[in-house]
Every structure is written in C-alpha cells, then in structure tokens.
Amino acid sequence: MSWQGIPDPPPAGFIPEIGSPSILLFCARSEVDYPFIVRVLDLLGLDRSRRSHKKGRSSSPWVLVYLKTPGINPEPLAPFVDGFLLGEPEKILPPVCVAFPRNREFWTSPAAIVPGLYVPRNYRVEYTPAGVIRGIKPRSPFSQPVPYRCPLPAAWWRRHFPGASGSGAVARGKRAALWPVGSSAKLRRLLGRPPEEEHYLSQVPGLLQRGAENFTLHFFVGLPGEGAEDREGIIRLVKRLRHAVFQFRRPTLFSGLITVNLVSFSPKPFSPLQWEGMFPLSLLQLQMKALVSKLRAIPGVHVVHDLPKWAYLYGILARGDRRAGEFLRALARRGGDWWSALSEVNLNPDFYTVRQRSLEESLPWDHLEGPVPRQKLEDQARAWREQAVRS
C-alpha cells in the first residue's frame, strides 16, 4: 500500500481492504511519516502495543516498516510495530519470509537474526529517575547490535538538503545551487565545508558560462554555537554573490535572481551533533524572522524558509525514545493536530529538542550500528563544542 503526498493521517474511509496478509510492510521516508503509519494501524486494529501474538497461528499480520532514508530514528514508532528494515528490503525480506512461521517465537529465535532486521521487542530500555536512558539491554540471548545496511551520506548535513552536491555547487539548466550550509567561515569549517566566501564567489563565472542565470544558496539557521555575527555572514555572502553575478551579467526580469533557502537546524541521529540541543523555539523564530526580513530588503533576492515550529516538532521524533510513542498515539487521536496532541500527553518536548546531552549519555538508537563508530562521533562532537565556544 502506498499513499503519496498526504501530510496528515488519513480518515477512516480512506483505508482499503487488505485481506489477510502475513506481513504488512510500510515505507517511512522520515520520522514525519510516523503519525500516518500509527493512524493507519489504529484504523486497521493492528497497533502492536494493543494486541498480542499468541503461540501458533494468528489472524493479525506482522507489521514491518522499511526506513527508506538512512539514519532515521525508529524508537518513537517501536511500540506500534514488530520490526524495522534498516536497509534494502530486497535483501532483508527473503530470509524473513522463508523462516517466518507466524508465531511469536520467530522474533526471539536465531531465525530473526537477519542483517538489517531490527526487532524492538528484543531490547529493553532502562531509565534513570531523571528520565534519561540508563541503558538498552537485549532481552533475547540471540539479540545483537543491528547495523544500518545502507550507507548514510558521507557528509551528515546533506540529510537536511536533498540533492546537495558534495562539491558545493551544481548547475541544473538555468539555475545554479551553492551549499555554504554554515552561516560563517567558523561554522563552515566545523561542518567540513570550504570556509572562505571566495570559494563560492569564484564559481560564479564558470556557472554563468554553463548557462546558469539564477542562483540558490542553502544555509542552516540555529547551528550550535551560532551567534548574531555568524548570521550576518549570510547577508554579507548574498550581497557579494549578487555583486559578482552583476559583474558578468546585468539582471533582467527572468535572470539574476538569487534565492536563499534557510533551514532550521534540528539534530539528527548518527551525526556529530546528535548530542546538541536546538535553540529554544521562540528564539529560533525570532532569529529566522529577523534574518528573512534583512535578506528580503536586498534587491533581487528571494527567500524561502521552513517554519521553526515544524523543525521543533519533528525534532521530538528525530531524537525521541519509545516514550514519544504516546505523542504519536495522541496525534492519531487528534487527526494530526500536533499542538493539541502535545497538550494531552505527559511529555516535555524541550527534553528531546532543546536539551543538550552529555557525551556519556545513552541515546535511544545506541543499540543500532551506524556507519560511523560512536567514539569517532564523540571526538567530532567534542571538537565542535570546544571550537564553537572558543571561536
């Protein structure tokens, strides 16, 4: 089953008859799809947290979710499903289907040890009195760390910018795109991007020669350690780029336009900034509003940006643990009304989004093996904290 372009959970009458399948497979492109999946499962009566698979045959299918985008956090959805595919389903499903006896023992037996198949019930999460995770322990002697079987982008920031080029510039038809990503040389250096503004300005002549007429620049807003002076760097680079373009080509009604794409930063799992917190929502909204206002005052500049409130809400799912499942359940009840759902659950969203974590704290996805060892991510996170504060 597949629904395209539906941002909110569907109404009851939208769900088709599915017959009696043995396995029901969903595809999640990001954590944003989780409320939709929970709503569908609720309408089908397949919420795993409210059903039990008894020994022997069961009339309920086993529910699996394919996480299409590498690095998605499965934990908020874990209470509702039987398993996750952390890689290509064509490689993971065949051994599952061959060994699948449609009884509970399959998921706690050696047969369930399929590379890329994550079975949440095989792991027990323990919390401290303060509410942070003390540890994640296997329930079954056969449980082992589950690796993501498909690689994450070489640069973690590219998960925020679909289509981003590692070289920093690309021309598609009459539009050229540049990815400074960081607002200042300091932040670009920490991100592993070319830090100097001249790197991006020097590409203008070649892009114009290849037929580019308009330019798009992509930036984060709200990176850890970012200050007002850093954000002024966006305005300065945009003005300098506009001047560089006009040196070679005078603007017309349909050319010479510079688009600035601003993305609210929200930490992602399996990245060096997974321990960092977001800016408080009210502060991030003020920063975005002020920056957009200054950029729109520049002639020939068009600004597109996300809404910080959505980055904040998605951040609950991006870094949430299994307790965030109650938020998903409330979303299903409220028909996708995020703020109403938050008001009815005992959950502090700042705990997941704004709170900075200690590098020693266990994270909800620590029992999953990302492409970069945790120790290396810790080293990079430590360097970020030291350099961002010192600079």
> Do 375 and 229 share a structural domain?
yes
Q: Count the residues in the chain.
A: 391
Contact call for residues 100 and 23 (beta carbons, < 8 A): yes
Amino acid 239: pLDDT: 96
Amino acid 213: pLDDT: 83
Amino acid 189: pLDDT: 92
Distances (CA, A) of 362 to 131, 134, 244, 276: 12, 6, 48, 14
φ, ψ of residue 206 to 5 degrees: the values are -65, -40
pTM summary value: 0.84
DSSP letter string, 193-243: S--SHHHHHTTHHHHHHTT--EEEEEEEES-TT--HHHHHHHHHHHHHHHH
Residue 354 lies in a domain: no
Longest Cα separation, the chain: 75
What is the extent of the structural domain holding 178? Answer: 156-319+370-390
> Do 140 and 75 share a structural domain?
yes
Q: In the chain, how many domains are there?
A: 2
Which class for 240: exposed (0-12), middle (13-18), buried (19 or more C-beta within 10 A)? middle
Amino acid 201: pLDDT: 94
> Do 173 and 69 share a structural domain?
no
- For residue range 75-123, list pLDDT tens digits in order: 999 999 989 998 888 888 887 777 665 555 555 555 557 788 898 988 9
Spans of the chain below 50 pLDDT: 1-6, 53-57, 166, 253
Amino acid 149: pLDDT: 54
Residue 250 lies in a domain: yes
Residue 53 lies in a domain: yes
> Do 176 and 33 share a structural domain?
no
> Do 143 and 169 share a structural domain?
no
CA proximity to 65, closest of 41, 49, 101: 41
> Do 231 and 103 share a structural domain?
no
CB atoms within 10 A of CB 173: 10
Return the amino acid letter for 376.
K
Amino acid 171: pLDDT: 56
Residue 3 lies in a domain: no
Residues 321, 128: Cα–Cα separation, whole Å: 13
Which class for 378: exposed (0-12), middle (13-18), buried (19 or more C-beta within 10 A)? middle
Residues 292, 287: Cα–Cα separation, whole Å: 9
Angle in degrees, CA 69, 71, 75, rounded to 5: 105
Amino acid 276: pLDDT: 96
Amino acid 321: pLDDT: 97
CB atoms within 10 A of CB 168: 17
Residue 341 lies in a domain: no
> Do 161 and 141 share a structural domain?
no
Amino acid 384: pLDDT: 92
CB atoms within 10 A of CB 65: 25
Using the 3D structure, point to which of 91, 121, 147 is the last residue of a domain: 147
CA proximity to 353, closest of 279, 283, 298, 285: 279
Partners of residue 38 on adjacent β-strands: none
Residue 73 lies in a domain: yes
> Do 166 and 91 share a structural domain?
no
- As given in the structure block, the two tokens for residue 313 are 């809400």
Residue 214 lies in a domain: yes
> Do 217 and 179 share a structural domain?
yes
Residue 122 lies in a domain: yes
* Domain harbouring 308, CATH code: 3.30.750.200
Contact call for residues 289 and 307 (beta carbons, < 8 A): no
> Do 143 and 160 share a structural domain?
no
Using the 3D structure, point to which of 147, 182, 210 is the last residue of a domain: 147
> Do 166 and 294 share a structural domain?
yes
CA proximity to 260, closest of 288, 223, 226: 288
> Do 255 and 231 share a structural domain?
yes
Which class for 285: exposed (0-12), middle (13-18), buried (19 or more C-beta within 10 A)? middle
CA proximity to 278, closest of 352, 183, 342: 352
Using the 3D structure, point to which of 125, 147, 169 is the last residue of a domain: 147
- For residue range 191-234, list pLDDT tens digits in order: 889 999 999 999 999 888 888 888 999 999 999 999 999 999 99
Neighbour order of strands in the sheet with 23-28 = 23-28, 62-67, 83-85, 117-118
